[in-house]
C-alpha cells in the first residue's frame, strides 16, 4: 500500500468576471486585447443573462476569460476577499508593441516590474485590473489566425491571478497542503505560489492587506477563478480531498463545456475546479465558435425567449474597433 501521490493542479482553467455591458466587454477583449470570442451562452444559474467567453482560437483551458453580463448589478469596488488582478502572458519582446497599441486605442496603461519581470498594467471596460506580463510559453496556446493582433505578439493565455486577502494564514495552509501549491518567492506583501510545472498559467499571487477595503461582488470585479483538472475522476478525488480539508464543496455540476465543483478558500475567494474537457467545440465547430447562442441541451426549451430578451452582440472584426 504505497502512499497516495499528492494530486497537483496543472494551472488556471478560466477566470470569470462580472460586466455591466457585454458589448463594451466584447469590444475590449476582442478589439483591444485580440482574444477570440469563443462562446456566447447563458449563466446557468441566472439563465436570463449572458455568459460570454474569450480565449485563444479554441478557448483552451488556461486561456479562457469569461464574463457574466449583469447590467442591473451595482458597480462597487474590488478589494480583499477577491481576485484583484488578472494577468495575461505575452512574449518577452512584445511590451513595446502592446504599449503602442494601447496608446493608439486610448487605453491608459503603465509599465511596472514585479518579480523581476516587466508588465503593463491596465483596466478593462468595467475597470477590472489587468496585467500583460512579459513572460510566455506557447505550450497550451492555439493561435487565432484571423485575430486582430499579430501572432508574434498575441496574448498566450493567463499568466497568473492575484488575490488580495485580509489574512493569509488559513489560505496559505490550504494551498500548500491539500491543494498542492508551493511557495515560489515573495516580494513585499505579495507571496507567489506555483502549481503543476510552474511558470506562466500556473502562478497565484497572494497579497495580504489587513487594512482593506473589502471587495464587493459587483460589476467590474472578478467572480471566481477555476483551476484545471484533467478529467471527472480526478475532479471527484479533488472533491474528497477538499471536503476532508474542511471546505464546503458543491456537488459536481455539469456546465456542458466542462464539469465543475466550487468552494470558497478561507480568505473568501470563490474557487472552482473544472475539467479540461469536453471544451467549447462540444456544440460548435472550431471555425464557428462564438457565432450562435450556445445552450446546453437542458436549456434549449428557453431558446425562443432568450433570443427575445438577450441584447444582440456585435463582434468586432478589425484591429481598430476597440475603443468607443
Ligand atoms: Zn467558472
Measured in Å, residue 196 CA sits from the centre of ligand 1 at 20
CA distances to 48, 126, 175, 210, 299 from 45, rounded to whole Å, are 9, 22, 28, 32, 11
Using CB atoms within 10 Å of the CB of residue 242, give its burial: 0 to 12 exposed, 13 to 18 middle, 19+ buried.
Answer: buried
Q: How much distance in Å is there from the Cα of 274 to the middle of ligand 1?
A: 7
Q: What SS3 state is found at 7? A: coil
CA of 2 to the centre of ligand 1 (A): 34
pLDDT of residue 317: 82
Residue pair 77/18 in contact (Cβ under 8 Å)? The answer is no
Q: Is residue 48 part of a domain?
A: yes
Q: How many CB atoms lie within 10 A of CB 248?
A: 9
Contact 132, 119 (CB under 8 A): yes
- As beta bridge partners, residue 14 has 64, 226
SS3 assignment, position 321: coil
Distance from the alpha carbon of residue 17 to the mean position of ligand 1, in angstroms: 9
- Ligand 1 centre from 88 Cα, in Å? 17
Does residue 317 sit within a domain? no
Q: What is the dihedral of CA 255, 14, 156, 315, to 10 degrees?
A: 60
CA distance 57 to 293: 18
Laid out side by side, the sheet with 109-114 consists of 109-114, 117-123, 129-134, 82-90, 158-165, 203-208, 190-194, 182-187
What pLDDT does residue 6 have?
59
The verdict on residue 322 lying in a domain is: no
Instruction: Calculate how far, in angstroms, residue 213's C-alpha sits from the geometric centre of ligand 1.
Output: 25
Residue 72 inside a domain? The answer is: yes
Q: What are phi and psi of 117, to 5 degrees?
A: -125, 135
How many A from CA of 185 to the centre of ligand 1?
28
Rounded Cα gap, residues 46 and 175, in angstroms: 30
- Measuring CA to CA, which residue among 20, 23, 19, 21 is closest to residue 312? 23
Residue 88 within any structural domain of the chain: yes
Dist. CA 16 → ligand 1 center (Å): 6
Please give the Cα distance from 291 to 26 (Å, whole number): 13
- What is the structure's pLDDT at 320? 47
**pTM of the entire structure?**
0.96
d(CA 68, CA 217): 12
Rounded CA Rg of the chain = 19
Please name the helix (run of DSSP H) or strand (run of DSSP E) that holds residue 86, with its range, or none. Answer: strand 82-90
Question: Does a structural domain hold residue 324?
Answer: no
Query: What separation in Å is there between the alpha carbon of 261 and the centre of ligand 1?
Result: 9
DSSP assignment letter at 181: -
CA of 149 to the centre of ligand 1 (A): 26
Spatial separation of the C-alpha atoms in residues 16 and 54, rounded to whole Å: 10
Residue 99 lies in a domain: yes
Q: Tell how far the Cα of 224 is from the centroid of ligand 1, in angstroms.
A: 6
Euclidean distance between CA atoms 255 and 253, whole angstroms: 6
CA 225 to ligand 1 centroid distance, Å: 7
DSSP 247-312: ---PPPEE-SSEEEEEEE-TTS-EEEEEEEEE-GGGSS-TTTTTSSB---GGGGGGHHHHHHHSPP
Residue 239: the pLDDT is 98
Residue whose C-alpha cell is 479533488: 238
Residue 212 is part of a domain; what is its CATH number? Answer: 3.10.180.10
Q: How far is the CA of 171 from the centre of ligand 1 (A)?
A: 20
**15 CA distance to ligand 1 centroid (A)?**
7
H/E segment holding residue 54: strand 50-55
**Residue 253's domain spans which residues?**
2-309
Q: Which residues contact 112 (CB under 8 A, 6 or more apart)?
A: 118, 119, 120, 121, 131
Query: In Å, how far are 54, 100, 264, 290 from 36, measured between CA atoms?
Result: 5, 21, 30, 8
Q: Which residues lie near ion ligand 1 (Cβ < 5 Å)?
A: 16, 226, 272
For the chain, what is the domain count? 1
What are the mean pLDDT values of the chain's consecutive 10-residue runs (324 residues total)? 64 98 98 98 95 98 98 95 98 98 98 97 98 95 96 98 98 97 96 96 97 96 98 97 98 98 98 98 97 96 95 81 41
SS3 92: helix
Amino acid at each position: 500500500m504505497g502512499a497516495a501521490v499528492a494530486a497537483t493542479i496543472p494551472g488556471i482553467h478560466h477566470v470569470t468576471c462580472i460586466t455591466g455591458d457585454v458589448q463594451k466587454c466584447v469590444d475590449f477583449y476582442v478589439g483591444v486585447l485580440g482574444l477570440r470570442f469563443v462562446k456566447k451562452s447563458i449563466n446557468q444559474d441566472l439563465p436570463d443573462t449572458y455568459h460570454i467567453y474569450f480565449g485563444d482560437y479554441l478557448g483552451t483551458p488556461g486561456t479562457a476569460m469569461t464574463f457574466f453580463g449583469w447590467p442591473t448589478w451595482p458597480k462597487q469596488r474590488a478589494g480583499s476577499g477577491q481576485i484583484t488582478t488578472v494577468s495575461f502572458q505575452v512574449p518577452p519582446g512584445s511590451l513595446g508593441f502592446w504599449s503602442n497599441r494601447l496608446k493608439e486605442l486610448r487605453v491608459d496603461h503603465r509599465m511596472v516590474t514585479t518579480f523581476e519581470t516587466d508588465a503593463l498594467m491596465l483596466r478593462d471596460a468595467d475597470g477590472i485590473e489587468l496585467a500583460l506580463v512579459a513572460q510566455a510559453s506557447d505550450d497550451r496556446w492555439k493561435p487565432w489566425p484571423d485575430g486582430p493582433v499579430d501572432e508574434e505578439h498575441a496574448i498566450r493565455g493567463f499568466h497568473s491571478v492575484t488575490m488580495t486577502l485580509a489574512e493569509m494564514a488559513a489560505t496559505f495552509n490550504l494551498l500548500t497542503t491539500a491543494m498542492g501549491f508551493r511557495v515560489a518567492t515573495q516580494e513585499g506583501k505579495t507571496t507567489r505560489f506555483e502549481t503543476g510545472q510552474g511558470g506562466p498559467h500556473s502562478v497565484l499571487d497572494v497579497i495580504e492587506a489587513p487594512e482593506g477595503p473589502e471587495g464587493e461582488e459587483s460589476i467590474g470585479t472578478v467572480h471566481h477563478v477555476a483551476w484545471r483538472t484533467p478529467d471527472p475522476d480526478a475532479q471527484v478525488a479533488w472533491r474528497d480531498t477538499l471536503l476532508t480539508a474542511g471546505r464546503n464543496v458543491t456537488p459536481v455540476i455539469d456546465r456542458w463545456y466542462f464539469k465543475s465543483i466550487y468552494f470558497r478558500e478561507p480568505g473568501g475567494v470563490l474557487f472552482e475546479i473544472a475539467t479540461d474537457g469536453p471544451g467549447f467545440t462540444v456544440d460548435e465547430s472550431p471555425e464557428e465558435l462564438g457565432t450562435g447562442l450556445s445552450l446546453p441541451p437542458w436549456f434549449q426549451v428557453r431558446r425562443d425567449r432568450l433570443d427575445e430578451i438577450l441584447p444582440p452582440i456585435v463582434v468586432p472584426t478589425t484591429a481598430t474597433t476597440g475603443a468607443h
